[in-house]
Amino acid sequence: MRVILAGYNVDISQLPSNKVQCTPETISAAYARISRSKKPVDELRKDAVLDIEKARRSNQTIVFEMGHSSVAEHAVFNFDIIGISRYLAEFVQRTRLASFTEKSQRYVTLDGDYVIPEEIQNDNEVLKQYQETIRLQNDTYISLFEKLKSYFIRTTSLSKKDIEGRAKEDARYVLSMATQTQMGMTINARSMEHLLKRLYALHFNEAKNLADILHEQVRNIAPSLIRYIEPSKYDTQKYKTDDFAESAKQVEKCTLLFYPAHADERIIAGLIFRSTGTDYQTVFEDVKLMNKQDKEKILQKYLTDITCHDSLPREFELVDLIFQVNINSSCFAQLKRHRIATIISTDYDPKFGFTIPKSIDKITQKDAFRNVMEKSEKMYGILSEKYPEVKNYILTNANHKVVLFKCNMRELCHFARLRQDAHAQWDIRELAHNIIEKAKEVAPITSVLICGKDTFPDANITLFK
């Protein structure tokens, strides 16, 4: 057995100025040749490095003409993305096979930096109103932050650091989605191509400008792997949004739209199937006839010694649940990180409502908060008339959108451990509680370990007592 470290991501500022051309294409080209060459892969890599142009031609043939797109996944890039809007960040982070770490408004005190969309920069009247609205939002944020700090000092025994964190996370609800953020992004070449295509298909200039900059950074480094970035007509239509019609029915905070019958039995049958090889449908029918105690014994057999750091077995993926949730931007910013789940969302719209943190009422600042929301929604109306493609920039972290959230029971367990844990922010923790309670109603046996990390030991004891 031989295992060779073929490469790793490095900070390019550490490379010597006289470095030879560095490209991840050589790794992609070498790995693509594995299936058709007798040579050891380390020799294939050396060949690719010695003839980069040949490696690029090989990549183009294999990735684009033969359709083996996964070859491009061996090339990985790291990006610092600084000064984009929170609104655009949502579209960037839709990319499923990528990693993101974003500046948190829970931990960082904001300085009032925000994005002015290009679309309005030459309209002096609209620009003035836009800036005045954001100034009100930012001034209110600072005011709420100070008042909330004083309130938490009086009413809690938290540390100074935790008090400031609590104050920031509630004050931020008045901040606009134009507020600047930064993130680190790690992405492979195949996902990079998809991201560029998506950004070019969006209907606001900030997205297209980001796409231009990203493409400029990589096009000379890996030209053979990132080629088709122009959106089709289908792509551009896909990201258009229509004005939402008035609805007679208010969208509830959390609704379970779909679940399969006999959810517990499907998972338990899967566990038995894997270990015995017995026909799944036969096992499933047998499990349906078992009493609850026997089902729990089977689950106990397969999950003994599981800890909060262990993933549930893949058999839990046999059960999908679909939820519809009406949530604010701050909550969605956390939900969207669960990219293995299926997340389909509307755009933001004042018709869906907004969230006022309970602490705002405690410090008697609901009127000030509502004043910000009223002014923000008035500016939203002005932008909707003249510049609809950028209307959402002025809405706040408190404003709502409606989301379809489809996940299997295994992914739901991961979601619960992170979002129902005592360390989670209150907003996403409330959403997690609502989702998990509905899951427990339809899968009471197999959902026993779907909980926050902090309560996982108790759940384990409950299952195996």
Q: How far is residue 463's CA from residue 406's CA, in Å, rounded to a whole number?
A: 26
Q: What CATH number does the domain containing 123 carry?
A: 3.30.1360.170
Query: Do 57 and 87 reside in the same domain of the chain?
Result: no
Query: Do 131 and 175 reside in the same domain of the chain?
Result: yes
Query: Do 292 and 376 reside in the same domain of the chain?
Result: no
Query: Do 99 and 112 reside in the same domain of the chain?
Result: yes
Query: Do 46 and 93 reside in the same domain of the chain?
Result: no
**Residue 125 falls inside a structural domain:** yes
* Helix, coil or strand: residue 295: helix
Q: Residue 298: which domain range?
A: 263-315
pLDDT tens, position by position, 7-61: 656 656 666 665 556 778 787 877 777 777 778 878 888 887 877 787 778 777 7
Q: CA nearest 256: which of 407, 399, 430? A: 407
Task: Give the per-residue pLDDT at 170.
Answer: 96
pLDDT tens, position by position, 252-293: 899 999 999 999 999 999 999 999 999 999 999 999 999 999
Q: How far is residue 380's CA from residue 417's CA, in Å, rounded to a whole number?
A: 37
Query: Do 67 and 86 reside in the same domain of the chain?
Result: no
Task: Give the per-residue pLDDT at 4.
Answer: 60
Q: How far is residue 55's CA from residue 65's CA, in Å, rounded to a whole number?
A: 15
**Residue 231 falls inside a structural domain:** yes
Domain end marker among 58, 74, 90 = 74
Query: Do 180 and 205 reside in the same domain of the chain?
Result: yes
The answer to whether the CB of 263 falls within 8 A of the CB of 319 is yes
pLDDT band at 219 (very low <50, low <70, confident <90, very high): confident
Higher pLDDT, 4 or 149: 149
**Residue 144 falls inside a structural domain:** yes
CB proximity list for 287: less than 8 A, separation 6 or greater:
265, 268, 269, 272, 295, 298
Higher pLDDT, 185 or 239: 185
Domain end marker among 74, 94, 122 = 74
pLDDT tens, position by position, 350-385: 999 999 999 999 999 999 999 999 999 999 999 999
Task: Give the per-residue pLDDT at 407.
Answer: 97
pLDDT tens, position by position, 163-206: 998 999 999 999 999 999 998 998 988 899 999 999 999 999 99
Cα 442-444-447 angle, rounded to 5 deg? 100
pLDDT band at 66 (very low <50, low <70, confident <90, very high): low
Q: What is the mean pLDDT of residues 107-111?
A: 64
Q: What is the mean pLDDT of residues 453-459?
A: 85
Structure tokens at 246: 């008035």
Q: How far is residue 417's CA from residue 454's CA, in Å, rounded to a whole number?
A: 8
Q: What is the DSSP string of 212-274?
A: HHHHHHHTTT-TTT----PPPHHHHHHT--PPPPP-SSPPPSEEEEE--TTHHHHHHHHHHHH
**Residue 413 falls inside a structural domain:** no
**Residue 250 falls inside a structural domain:** no
Q: How far is residue 331's CA from residue 423's CA, in Å, rounded to a whole number?
A: 15
Task: Tell me: pLDDT of 462 over 80.
Answer: no
- 25-33 and 52-59 are packed helices; what angle lies between their axes, rounded to 10 degrees? 60
Task: Give the per-residue pLDDT at 60.
Answer: 74
Percent of the chain with pLDDT over 90: 65
Q: Where is 401: in which H helix or E strand? A: strand 400-408
Query: Do 379 and 311 reside in the same domain of the chain?
Result: no
When divided into structural domains, the chain yields a total of 3
Q: How far is residue 463's CA from residue 446's CA, in Å, rounded to a whole number?
A: 10
**Residue 406 falls inside a structural domain:** no
Task: Give the per-residue pLDDT at 38.
Answer: 78
Query: Do 145 and 163 reside in the same domain of the chain?
Result: yes
Query: Do 101 and 234 reside in the same domain of the chain?
Result: yes
Query: Do 102 and 205 reside in the same domain of the chain?
Result: yes
Q: CA nearest 351: which of 325, 326, 372? A: 326
pLDDT band at 248 (very low <50, low <70, confident <90, very high): very low
**Residue 450 falls inside a structural domain:** no
Domain end marker among 74, 101, 116 = 74
Task: Give the per-residue pLDDT at 247.
Answer: 57
* Helix, coil or strand: residue 292: helix
Q: CA nearest 394: which of 105, 91, 120? A: 120
Mean pLDDT of the chain: 89
* Burial profile 102-122: b = 16 or more Cβ within 10 angstroms, e = fewer: bbebeeeebeeebbbbebbee
Task: Give the per-residue pLDDT at 21.
Answer: 64
Q: How far is residue 249's CA from residue 240's CA, in Å, rounded to a whole number?
A: 24
Q: In what order do the strands lie in the sheet with 76-85?
A: 76-85, 180-188, 98-102
Higher pLDDT, 63 or 24: 24
The answer to whether the CB of 21 falls within 8 A of the CB of 52 is yes
Query: Do 299 and 206 reside in the same domain of the chain?
Result: no
Burial class (CB in 10 A: 0-12, 13-18, 19+), 417: buried
**Residue 94 falls inside a structural domain:** yes
- 263-276 and 280-288 are packed helices; what angle lies between their axes, rounded to 10 degrees? 130
The answer to whether the CB of 177 falls within 8 A of the CB of 393 is yes
Task: Give the per-residue pLDDT at 17.
Answer: 63
Q: Which residue has the tokens 């100070």?
A: 146
Q: How far is residue 136's CA from residue 147's CA, in Å, rounded to a whole number?
A: 16
- pTM value is 0.89
